[in-house]
Amino acid sequence: MTRVMVAAPSPVVRAGLEALVASHPGLELAGSFADAGAAEELQPDVVLAALATEDLPAPADGRVPAIVLLSSESQASLTLEEFRLGVRAVLARDSSPAAIVAAIDAVAGGLAAIDPRELEALLAAQTPVPVTAEETTLTPREREVLAMMAEGAANKTIAWKLDISEHTVKFHVASILSKLHAGSRTEAVTLGIRKGLVMI
């Protein structure tokens, strides 16, 4: 029996996730909260969380439960920072119940659930390619923003850390995507790693 804790600020979302867990005989609801702070005390096998990355708790000294993160981003992807926080699967919030249960089963068994497209990106990131002036001319500030994007930081967090406006962060992100010819933040980070612009 897999003990699952639900974490979501919205009572409606929590109720839906609770019903999903309760409807599967192999899953047991360990608790349901507005945030994931109770995970350390409850010690569930899996945390099913509909939270922003910045709301995930830092790993404690004890056992860290595997997290299935339901993301509001249109392109759900697993970042290095999320992985360090215990996230082992990222799904879009509109994923089917079957997909969510499959992800819970996978991470409970010690596996990570990664979209095949994300796996290709991660594998591609293992082969750095040299940067030439013609290919990429990121400014020092854009490199800082890209590094924080690789850590999974949201625009609001980047703005706070760099003491700039969120609008300025959006401008830098758009410039980075354009210069790297990337269609998404995930692709920009992947290309940045390949080109040696981001150290992991």
Pairing of strands 2-7, 46-49: parallel
Length of the chain: 200
- Residues whose CB is less than 8 angstroms from the CB of residue 181 and which lie 6 or more positions away in sequence, other chains included: 191
Residue 114's pLDDT is what?
Answer: 72
Residue 121's pLDDT is what?
Answer: 57
Residue 134's pLDDT is what?
Answer: 42
122 vs 195, more confident: 195
Share above pLDDT 70 across residues of the chain, in percent, rounded to a whole number = 80
Residue 1's pLDDT is what?
Answer: 92
DSSP for 15-28 reads HHHHHHHHTSTTEE
State the CB neighbour count (10 A cutoff) for residue 99: 14
Positive or negative CA dihedral for 118, 99, 67, 174?
Answer: positive
Over residues 120-169, the pLDDT tens digits come to 655 555 555 554 544 457 888 899 999 999 888 888 999 999 888 888 88
DSSP for 33-56 reads ESSSTTHHHH--SEEEE---GGGS
Over residues 73-95, the pLDDT tens digits come to 644 566 666 777 788 888 888 88
Residue 123's pLDDT is what?
Answer: 59
Q: What is the 3-state secondary structure (H, E, C) of 141-152?
A: HHHHHHHHHHCC
| 101/56 Cα distance (integer angstroms) | 21
Domains of the chain: 2-114 (3.40.50.2300), 124-194 (1.10.10.10)
What are 147's two structure tokens? 């590094």
Gyration radius from the chain CA atoms? 18
- Residues whose CB is less than 8 angstroms from the CB of residue 46 and which lie 6 or more positions away in sequence, other chains included: 2, 3, 4, 5, 65, 66, 67, 68, 104, 107, 108
Which amino acid appears at position 77 of this protein?
S
| 23/16 Cα distance (integer angstroms) | 11
Share above pLDDT 90 across residues of the chain, in percent, rounded to a whole number = 30
Mean pLDDT, residues 9-26 taken together: 93
Q: Which ranges in 23-95 belong to alpha helices (H)?
A: 39-42, 80-84
